[in-house]
């Protein structure tokens, strides 16, 4: 379970959802949206307005999933600090002008929190409330037959 808080120009937006990770596939699902990222392609389902968007990610771009999993060479580790039985890893992404921290449990290396800051106007705080390591899980399925489809793949 992830809890995400976004502060944009002092307006705070919160949401919570489930993040599924299997090999190179990442899925985030909550009551309003479903996001699936695999092999450079992203599918976003906006449930309230019944819309599906297909898009591709440039190989040089960085996604939120790259940051959460550390799967990108553009993420630079600045320092590691031990605080209250947690390891705080300071990082930056020069390409986006982002600085941040990842907090992990010292005992088992499980992530607990991720913070991103881009300028004064954009801050994202992700609390990781629980992690389940399962060999198999049932992915959510949605009937999108009556949804508007936007295909941005070039």
Per-residue pLDDT band at 28 (split at 50, 70, 90): confident
Beta-strand runs (E) in 74-119: 76-83, 86-93, 98-105, 111-118
- pTM to 2 decimal places: 0.73
- Apex 74 CA angle, 54 and 90, nearest 5: 115
> 2-151 sits in which CATH class?
mainly beta
How is the chain split into domains, by residue range?
2-151
| More confidently predicted of 46 and 26 | 46
Instruction: Please determine, for residue 6, whether its predicted confidence score (pLDDT) is greater than 60.
Output: no
Q: Write out the two tokens for 64.
A: 């939120």
* DSSP for 40-80, written as a single string: TEEEEEETTTTEEEEEE--TTS--HHHHHHT--TT-EEEEE
| Structure confidence by residue, pLDDT tens digits, 75-120 | 888 999 998 889 999 999 888 888 999 899 888 888 888 888 887 7
Per-residue pLDDT band at 145 (split at 50, 70, 90): very high
The bridge status of strand 148-151 relative to strand 51-56 is parallel
Share of the chain above pLDDT 70, in %: 84
Tell me what pLDDT residue 97 has.
86
Average pLDDT over residues 55-66: 77
CA 96 to chain CA centroid, Å, is 15
- Apex 15 CA angle, 100 and 75, nearest 5: 25
């Amino acid at each position: 379970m992830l809890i995400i808080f976004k502060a944009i120009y002092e307006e705070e937006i919160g949401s919570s959802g489930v993040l599924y990770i299997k090999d190179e596939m990442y899925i985030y699902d909550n009551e309003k949206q479903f996001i699936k990222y695999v092999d450079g392609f992203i599918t976003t389902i906006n449930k309230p307005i019944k819309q599906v968007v297909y898009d591709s990610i440039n190989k040089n771009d960085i996604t939120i999933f790259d940051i959460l999993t550390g799967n990108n060479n553009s993420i630079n580790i600045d320092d590691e600090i031990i605080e209250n039985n947690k390891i705080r890893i300071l990082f930056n992404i020069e390409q986006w002008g982002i600085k941040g921290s990842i907090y992990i449990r010292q005992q088992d290396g499980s992530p607990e929190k991720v913070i991103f800051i881009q300028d004064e106007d954009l801050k994202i705080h992700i609390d990781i409330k629980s992690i389940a390591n399962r060999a198999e899980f049932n992915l959510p399925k949605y009937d999108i037959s009556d949804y508007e489809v936007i295909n941005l793949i070039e």
